[in-house]
Chain A
Amino acid sequence: MAEYSILITSSPFQGDTALRALAFVQGAIDNGDVINHVFFYSDGVYHTNSLMLNTGDELFALDSWRALATAHNVKLLVCITAAVKRGIVSELEAKENGIAHANLAAPFEQAGLGEFFTALHECNRLVQF
Chain B
Amino acid sequence: MARLLIRFTQGPFSNAKSQDGLDFALAATNYGHEVKVIFENQGVLQLVKSASIKGLKNHTKRLASMPFFDIEECFVCKTSADTYDIDHVLANTDLLEELECEWINAAEKLALIQSVDHVVTF
A82 to B24, CA, bound (A): 11
- The main secondary structure of chain B at its interface with chain A is mixed
B2 x A121 contact (CB < 8 A):
yes
Assuming the contacts A82-B20, A114-B30, asked whether A120 and B2 have C-beta atoms less than 8 A apart, the reply is yes
B contacts, CB < 8 Å to A: 1-2, 4, 16-17, 20-21, 23-24, 27-28, 30-33, 117-122
Chain A residues near B (Cβ < 8 Å): 7, 9, 41-43, 81-82, 113-114, 117-118, 120-121, 123-126, 128
Q: Determine how close the nearest CB of chain B comes to the CB of A127; give it in whole angstroms.
A: 9
A41, A118, A123, A125: the one within 8 Å of B24 (CB)? A41
Q: Which interface residue of A82, A120, A123, A126 has the most chain B CB atoms within 10 A?
A: A120
In the complex, chain B residues whose CB is within 8 Å of the CB of A113: 23-24, 27-28
Beta-carbon nearest neighbor of A5 in chain B: B118
